[in-house]
Structure 1
């Protein structure tokens, strides 16, 4: 199992709108690709010097190959939607995590 993790720092001036959009539109759109089995959104409880509010959004997928399919088929379009709507109001950092064990 793999986690596609997107850490996002969102400007406080658009925070509420962004949060609603993530819950009602973006995360459902990500799941609708069929490449992720579920997603979770976590609020980072560290105050950033640059300001804003930080979240980690984790999308669970079955394999590296499925994640690569997402990159090839869906990533550009979905990223463009968020960039268009919230341009210059967020920064995002993406990482891939492999689940080694769960207890």
Structure 2
């Protein structure tokens, strides 16, 4: 099992709209790819950054599913993020493997 983490720092004045969009639209679109088995959306409480920091975490069963998502789905979904929140957010990703 792998955890695909997307950390986003969003401007304060866009945070509520971003959160609603994530909960109502974006996460559903990611899950509809069928490549992830579950997700979590978290707010970072002690972020040293300006703005609000969130982490969207998606669980996938194997590397093949992750690579398929990354190659076939991520670019268009990331484009939608940029269309809706251009110059209001910055995101970075990480991929982690469960050990225990």
Interval of TM-score (by shorter of Structure 1 and Structure 2): over 0.9
TM-score by length of 1: 0.94
**Residues 1:83 and 2:97 are matched in the alignment:** no
Root mean square deviation of aligned Cα = 0.8
Distance in 1, matches of 2:90 and 2:48, equals 12
Distance in 1, matches of 2:81 and 2:71, equals 18
Distance in 2, matches of 1:69 and 1:47, equals 31
5+ residue gaps, structure 2, are none
- Find runs of 4+ consecutive structure 1 residues off by over 2 angstroms: none
**How many pairs were matched up?**
100
5+ residue gaps, structure 1, are none
Distance in 2, matches of 1:71 and 1:60, equals 14
